[in-house]
A and B are shown apart, each in its own frame.
Chain A
Amino acid sequence: MDEKAILLVEDNPKDEALILRALKKNNIGNEVVVAHDGAEALAKLAEPNAALPQLVLLDLKLPKIDGLEVLQRIRADPRTRLLPVVILTSSTEESDRFRGYSFGANSYIRKPVDFTQFAEAVRQLGLYWLIMNEPPPFERKS
């Protein structure tokens, strides 16, 4: 994974296809690394000598380790604690939003059912987090 990459943590292959499609349609050409469960996501972040992604798109309901726990572990690790994490989920349950922000999510977005809105959400997300937003300074291994 290069340092412009997006780590997409998503277990539903159809949602994955739709997100990739929306990214492509909006000309967001960053490398997208997909993890299909929470454990895989943490493993990808822990790979030695690999750069950290520019953005993590995190689903909440995930096999093995759920999204909120992935988020907690990302924030607990000094190496990844500043990583921008955007929760991208179906749920708008108050408890999920509350815990998501409590555990240090940078943003919380509900996946719209309407693909036109979905694509627009992904476009704005990419524009904001990959272009407008200045990333935190990581101590990178040279």
Chain B
Amino acid sequence: MSNVPRNLLERYAVALKSHFTGPDDSALTRAYELGRAALNDGLGVLDMATLHAEALRLAAVEGSPATKPADADKAVEFFIESLSPFEMSLQGYRESNARLMAMNEALDQARIGTEAANRELESFSYSVAHDLRAPLRSIDGFSQALLEDYGEKLDDEARQYLRYLRESAQQMAQLIDDLLNLSRLARSELKREMVDLSALARDVVAKLSQREPGRQVAVTVQDGMTARGDQRLLRVVLENLLGNAWKFTGKRADATIVFGTAAIDGMVTYFIRDNGAGFDMAYADKLFGVFQRLHSGHEFEGTGVGLATVQRIVRRHGGSIRAEGAIDRGATFSFDLGEKVFGANRT
């Protein structure tokens, strides 16, 4: 016989026989229950047919009068009842299948829409990069041409205005670049690998001091810091955070920057602390917004895109970033990359 369990067959045969002889239809409830048990045991409709045939044969051997047309009807009735859990389950399956198909279709539509939007964004960024820069180049270039060729005919104020024009053009070019980088981040693929953060940080610091060899900054980078993340994007994070620390300690004679790691709330957390200009904690939530600046361009240069970029990268790694600070008392930026601390030696 098939894979129909023996005891199920016996119970089925007993119930079927009592349906032949019983005064009412109470045995049909048993048929339904047995069908559900069979369904739960993983039996199929063909197993049920086998089960039914076997039970009929058993009933015949035991001398059931299953020969009258009425008994045949009763047998069919019992069989149908035992199959009804299968029918109901099939119905449910069909319905959830239809729901799934509808959801899949919606997802497909959404994916197609996203892809189209991405393509559009890409060509948009391309024209921004290319076409917005050309007029800026003209503004800057011809301002400089005026200064060079007609500078003697202009007074100091006029020459100052031309310098303002150039500064603004260059500032806008920087803004365009920063924004484009920010939008590229959203689209670029995240490649996770082991990254030596200590080495990366030292490289970034070396470039900062190359650019401003006159600055005296005491930078301490903890040894042996590693992280699982995208090397290129983590470099952008460190360039921005260390670059900020570098920039905002610009008015300190004893400028100090520390980059280290600690376990905070069970997460591997990295922090960059400086003793620079700091910021008012009342505006802490504004720090990470695009174009948000807490310092005027007079005090410190910047486009206000850096920290928004950093936050986006950190979030793409499944982590979060926080800032603490006080005016003239420095700032500390702490971020994690979604990696939990394991083992005490990690702290």
How big is the B interface, by class?
10 to 19
Q: How far is the CA of A90 from the CA of B138 in the complex (A)?
A: 12
Contacts of A112 in B (CB 8 A): 137
**B258 in contact (CB, < 8 A):** no
**B310 in contact (CB, < 8 A):** no
**A106 in contact (CB, < 8 A):** no
- State how many angstroms separate the Cβ of B205 from the closest Cβ of chain A: 25
Interface locus among B98-106, B139-147, B267-275: B139-147
Decide: A14 and B138 in contact? CB cutoff 8 A. Answer: yes
- Which residues of chain B in 128-170 are interfacial with respect to chain A, using CB atoms and an 8 Å cutoff? 129-131, 133-134, 136-138, 140-145, 166, 169-170
- State how many angstroms separate the Cβ of A8 from the closest Cβ of chain B: 15
Task: Using known A-B contacts A113-B169, A113-B170, A115-B144, determine if residue A18 contacts B129 with beta carbons closer than 8 Å.
Answer: no
Decide: B129 and A113 in contact? CB cutoff 8 A. Answer: no
Q: How far is the CA of A93 from the CA of B181 in the complex (A)?
A: 10
Contacts of B166 in A (CB 8 A): 114-115
Give the residue of B129, B134, B145, B170 whose beta carbon is less than 8 angstroms from that of A15.
B134
B114-128 vs A: 1/0 string, CB under 8 Å?
Answer: 000000000000100
Decide: A15 and B137 in contact? CB cutoff 8 A. Answer: yes
Decide: A113 and B126 in contact? CB cutoff 8 A. Answer: no
**A26 in contact (CB, < 8 A):** no
**B173 in contact (CB, < 8 A):** yes
**A49 in contact (CB, < 8 A):** no
Decide: A115 and B129 in contact? CB cutoff 8 A. Answer: no
Contact residues of A: prevailing secondary structure: loop
A57-96 vs B: 1/0 string, CB under 8 Å?
Answer: 0000100000000000000000000000000011111000
Give the residue of B130, B134, B138, B170 whose beta carbon is less than 8 angstroms from that of A114.
B170
- State how many angstroms separate the Cβ of A124 from the closest Cβ of chain B: 17
How big is the A interface, by class?
10 to 19
A94-134 vs B: 1/0 string, CB under 8 Å?
Answer: 00000000000000000111111010000000000000000
Give the residue of B126, B134, B143, B144 whose beta carbon is less than 8 angstroms from that of A93.
B126
Decide: B145 and A90 in contact? CB cutoff 8 A. Answer: no
Decide: A113 and B140 in contact? CB cutoff 8 A. Answer: yes
Task: Using known A-B contacts A91-B129, A93-B126, determine if residue A15 contacts B144 with beta carbons closer than 8 Å.
Answer: no
- Which residues of chain A in 18-50 are interfacial with respect to chain B, using CB atoms and an 8 Å cutoff? 18, 21
Decide: A18 and B126 in contact? CB cutoff 8 A. Answer: no
Contact residues of B: prevailing secondary structure: helix
How many contacts between A and B, using CB within 8 angstroms? 54
Contacts of B137 in A (CB 8 A): 14-15, 18, 90, 111-113, 115, 118
Contacts of B142 in A (CB 8 A): 14, 18
Decide: B133 and A14 in contact? CB cutoff 8 A. Answer: no
Decide: B126 and A115 in contact? CB cutoff 8 A. Answer: no
Contacts of A90 in B (CB 8 A): 129-131, 133-134, 137
- State how many angstroms separate the Cβ of A73 from the closest Cβ of chain B: 22
Give the residue of A92, A114, A116 whose beta carbon is less than 8 angstroms from that of B129.
A92
Contacts of B170 in A (CB 8 A): 113-114
Q: How far is the CA of A20 from the CA of B142 in the complex (A)?
A: 12
Closest-by-CB residue of B relative to A22 is B141
Contacts of A113 in B (CB 8 A): 133, 136-137, 140, 169-170, 173
Closest-by-CB residue of B relative to A110 is B133
Task: Using known A-B contacts A93-B126, A116-B144, determine if residue A111 contacts B133 with beta carbons closer than 8 Å.
Answer: yes
Decide: B136 and A61 in contact? CB cutoff 8 A. Answer: no
- State how many angstroms separate the Cβ of B148 from the closest Cβ of chain A: 8
For the complex with contacts A15-B138, A113-B133, 8 further pairs of A-B residues with Cβ separation under 8 Å are A15-B134, A18-B145, A90-B130, A90-B131, A93-B129, A113-B136, A115-B166, A116-B144
Return 18 A-B CB contacts under 8 Å, by A number: A14-B134, A14-B141, A14-B142, A18-B138, A18-B141, A61-B130, A89-B130, A90-B131, A90-B133, A113-B140, A113-B169, A113-B173, A115-B140, A115-B143, A115-B144, A115-B145, A115-B166, A116-B144
Listed in ascending order, the chain B residues whose CB lies under 8 Å from chain A are 126, 129-131, 133-134, 136-138, 140-145, 166, 169-170, 173
For the complex of A and B, the 10 pairs showing the least CB-CB separation, nearest first, are A113-B173, A115-B141, A115-B144, A14-B138, A18-B141, A90-B130, A90-B133, A113-B136, A91-B130, A113-B137
